[in-house]
């Protein structure tokens, strides 16, 4: 069924986020989204004079492929996708999920292997194309937000399709303030976190890479983070819903981490030497 909001969102992604130019190639990838949204993007690309390519995925199918993925399979897949990505000037991904925990029973080591094999594709996309990615509103996301599906969809399209240009003056003022700031303290229920952002640039995010958007981000000085933080909303990672996450920091490093999936959480944090350090601090306003 056609929805005018799809056209409005597609126009924003093509004309504002990736600023597509005539004759540029763009890869559109849709994960568990309505065909109508993919069609809206194809039409928007053609209207802008671009050359669209599209592929759709289903998470259940991806799970079946991932469960027993072999080295040979992943090497061929990565080689094919990298060759395709090298021919693209731009990239748009719209990612939904009919079941946010669909990948929860794929072994973590297998997910890590897939991530490693596909890293060259991601690097090509991030470093060599104009790209934007966004989530798609689904009943499972509405449930996480404690909202009806219809109310969540209305909320989603409202925040996705706002005029990001109007945020620019405020974002620039916040950027300048953050770049003059040394110490930051965050206080809240079971949260008292302290760190420095002195000497680190602040970056404006105004709908260029992610939708919905609206933030200015920086990064803590690596060893300056002390205290603890508790998150009041669940987070989905590799198909697992982590809830009640509490992290304790000392000299920049997470020294204690608990959640409803404490063992899995700590396995992720032990995956590489930098995983127990904060890589970003941002202030959001959308």
Report the SS3 class of residue 175: helix
Domains of the chain by residue range? 4-161, 166-284
Sign of CA dihedral 282, 183, 235, 60: positive
Q: What is the pLDDT of residue 227?
A: 98
Q: What is the pLDDT of residue 50?
A: 98
Residue 31 CA: distances (Å) to CA of 104, 120, 135, 141, 160: 17, 20, 9, 14, 18
pTM above 0.95, yes or no: no
Question: How far is it, in rounded angstroms, from Cα 209 to Cα 215?
Answer: 12
Q: What is the pLDDT of residue 177?
A: 97
Question: How far is it, in rounded angstroms, from Cα 182 to Cα 198?
Answer: 4
pLDDT less than 50: residues of the chain: none
Question: 59: closest CA among 87, 22, 96?
Answer: 96
Question: How far is it, in rounded angstroms, from Cα 108 to Cα 122?
Answer: 19
Question: How far is it, in rounded angstroms, from Cα 229 to Cα 246?
Answer: 6
Q: What is the pLDDT of residue 98?
A: 87
Q: What is the pLDDT of residue 286?
A: 73
Report the SS3 class of residue 167: helix
Q: What is the pLDDT of residue 243?
A: 93
Helix (H) or strand (E) run with residue 230 in it: strand 226-230
CATH domain 4-161 topology: Thermophilic metalloprotease-like (3.40.1830)
* C-alpha dihedral, 136 to 139 to 145 to 151, nearest 10°: 90
Tokens 């990612």, located at residue: 95
Q: How many CA atoms lie within 13 A of 23 on its CB side?
A: 0
Contact between residue 286 and residue 213 where contact means Cβ atoms under 8 Å apart:
yes
Q: What is the pLDDT of residue 108?
A: 85
Residue 203 CA: distances (Å) to CA of 16, 223, 270, 283: 18, 21, 28, 11
**Angle (nearest 5°) at CA 155 between 152 and 157:** 110
Which residues lie closer than 8 Å to 83 by C-beta, 6 or more apart? none
Contact between residue 163 and residue 171 where contact means Cβ atoms under 8 Å apart:
no
């Amino acid at each position: 069924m056609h929805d005018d909001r799809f056209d409005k969102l597609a126009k924003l992604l093509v004309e504002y986020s990736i600023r597509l130019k005539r004759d540029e190639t763009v890869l559109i990838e849709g994960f568990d989204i309505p065909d109508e949204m993919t069609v809206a993007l194809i039409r928007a690309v053609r209207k802008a004079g671009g050359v669209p390519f599209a592929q759709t995925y289903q998470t259940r199918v991806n799970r079946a492929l991932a469960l027993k993925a072999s080295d040979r399979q992943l090497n061929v897949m990565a080689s094919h996708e990298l060759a395709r990505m090298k021919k693209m000037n731009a990239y748009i991904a719209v990612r939904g999920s009919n079941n946010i925990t669909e990948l929860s029973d794929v072994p973590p080591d297998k997910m890590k292997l897939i991530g490693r094999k596909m890293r060259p594709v991601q690097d090509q996309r991030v470093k060599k194309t104009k790209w934007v990615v966004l989530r798609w509103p689904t009943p499972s996301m509405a449930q996480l937000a404690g909202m009806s599906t219809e109310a969540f969809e209305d909320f989603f399209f409202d925040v996705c399709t706002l005029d990001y240009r109007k945020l620019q003056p405020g974002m620039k003022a916040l950027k300048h303030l953050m770049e003059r700031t040394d110490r930051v303290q965050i206080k809240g229920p079971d949260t008292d976190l302290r760190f420095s952002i002195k000497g680190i640039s602040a970056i404006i995010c105004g709908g260029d890479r992610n939708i919905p958007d609206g933030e200015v981000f920086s990064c803590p000085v690596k060893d300056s983070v002390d205290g603890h933080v508790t998150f009041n909303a669940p987070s989905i990672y590799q198909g697992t819903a982590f809830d009640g996450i509490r992290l304790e920091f000392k000299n920049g490093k997470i020294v204690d981490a608990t959640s409803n999936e404490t063992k899995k959480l700590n396995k992720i944090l032990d995956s590489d030497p930098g995983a127990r350090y904060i890589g970003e601090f941002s202030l959001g306003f959308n």
